Amino acid sequence: IKAATHNFDIANKIGEGGFGPVYKGVLSDGTIIAVKQLSAKSKQGNREFVNEIGMISALQHPNLVKLFGCCIEGNQLLLIYEYLENNSLARALFGREEQRLNLDWQTRKKICIGIARGLAYLHEESRLKIVHRDIKATNVLLDKDLNAKISDFGLAKLDEEENTHISTRIAGTVGYMAPEYAMRGYLTDKADVYSFGIVLLEIVSGKSNTNYRPKEEFVYLLDWAYVLQEQGNLLELVDPSLGSNYSKEEAKRMLNLALLCANPSPTLRPTMSSVVSMLDGKIPVQAPVVKRGALDEDIRFKAFEILSQDGQTRLDICSGWPGTETRLDGWTVDRLLSLPF
């Protein structure tokens, strides 16, 4: 692994994940790999590292990043993944101008369906029932053909068959976390469905949920989407760079589906297998209109107050891939935004 990465040369560093830095490497047979190096200060630790190895090695799906192997030697803990040529969906959509990719409508649809199929496999089709817990645009990678592959299972937890939910230490990304998980640590696969809804909204709009502020009173892209839905103007959200080269019917279906997935009530969110069928147009999408009043805003701010009450809370800036993130005692805050959903 040292030889493949030129002794972890900084020039080969391609990102920073929940475990630590990620390096590009080339094996002796020419295979290009991505090496995730567990940092000495990582809070995940050996137990979660070994859990990740066990889970990922058992998973094989076209829309999941493949794990080739691992290396545990002394304090060095490494995961060796397939290398994805087009980096992350976040960089393709929100990166610097020279990093962004020209994603046409059909490609965006393919990416959305790929993510949905990967999650449906994790939740319903794999031998293990897995909740990812951190679905976001930076954790969706794109191969040379712009197929989507879900990455970073460092936060994934197994949902034992005898349990209907998992209450555990909150770990996820602000702006993508379902309200019931952010507030109470109540975790089911419906938390991933919520996060998928946010990513779907970002793919269609070309805008980041946490960075887009159409007006000061709207904290997130999701807030603005609800307003436009109530006004019957959802198509205003479609990425202007697409021009008229997209299907209005498909765009409306996908935006309504995004809001259905991001419903505040987990019981009203669809399963990911249903989402796949909706994206394929096999079953209709009926997104409920959610009235978001002052009470909703109070809950949002209350969640952040709970997050901030711990006197030991520390705010550390770290180098992200592709952008800057803030870590807040297990929480990841994209672009320094500070509300939990």
pLDDT in tens, 304-317: 444 444 433 332 32
Strand-pairing partners, residue 334, are 325
Contact residues for 234 (Cβ-Cβ < 8 A; gap 6+): 225, 228, 252, 255, 256
Q: Which two tokens stand for residue 314?
A: 């520390």
Q: Which two tokens stand for residue 189?
A: 């696969």
Find out whether 80 and 65 touch, Cβ atoms under 8 Å: no
Mean local confidence (pLDDT), 53-64: 84
- Output b/e per residue, 4-13; b: 16+ Cβ within 10 A: bbeebeeebb
Half-sphere exposure of 37 (CA within 13 A, CB side): 22
189 an active-site residue?
Answer: no
pLDDT of residue 53: 76
Q: Is the pLDDT of residue 16 over 50?
A: yes
Q: Hey, what amino acid is at 186? A: Y
Q: Quote the distance between the C-alpha of residue 296 and its chain's center.
A: 23
Find out whether 197 and 255 touch, Cβ atoms under 8 Å: no
pLDDT of residue 174: 86
pLDDT band at 161 (very low <50, low <70, confident <90, very high): very low
Contact residues for 36 (Cβ-Cβ < 8 A; gap 6+): 17, 19, 20, 21, 22, 78, 79, 80, 81
pLDDT of residue 73: 76
pTM of the model: 0.81
Q: Is the pLDDT of residue 120 over 80?
A: yes
Which CATH number does the domain 89-334 belong to among 3.30.310.50, 2.60.120.620, 1.10.510.10, 1.10.3300.10?
A: 1.10.510.10
Query: Active site residue: 29, 134, 239, 316, which one?
Result: 134
Report the residue count for the chain: 341
Q: Is the pLDDT of residue 171 over 60?
A: yes
Percent pLDDT > 70 in the chain is 73
133 vs 286, residue with greater confidence: 133
Among 81, 100, 69, smallest CA distance to 23 is for 81
What is the DSSP annotation of 107-150?
A: HHHHHHHHHHHHHHIIIIISSS-EE-S--SGGGEEE-TT--EEE
The CATH class for the domain spanning 10-82 reads alpha beta
pLDDT of residue 70: 84
What are the helix (H) ranges across 153-188? 179-184
H-helix or E-strand spanning residue 328 = strand 325-328
Integer Cα distance of 83 and 141 in angstroms: 9
Find out whether 262 and 197 touch, Cβ atoms under 8 Å: yes
Helical packing angle, 248-261 and 272-279, nearest 10°: 170
Q: To the nearest whole number, what is the mean pLDDT of the chain?
A: 80
Integer Cα distance of 323 and 331 in angstroms: 16
| Helix, strand or coil, per DSSP, at residue 92 | helix
Domain locations along the chain: 10-82, 89-334
Order of strands across the sheet that contains 67-73:
13-16, 21-26, 32-37, 76-82, 67-73
Least confident stretch, 80-84, 194-198, 269-273, 308-312: 308-312
Which tens digits make up the pLDDT trace of 250-307? Answer: 999 999 999 999 999 999 999 999 999 999 999 999 766 675 554 454 454 444 444 4
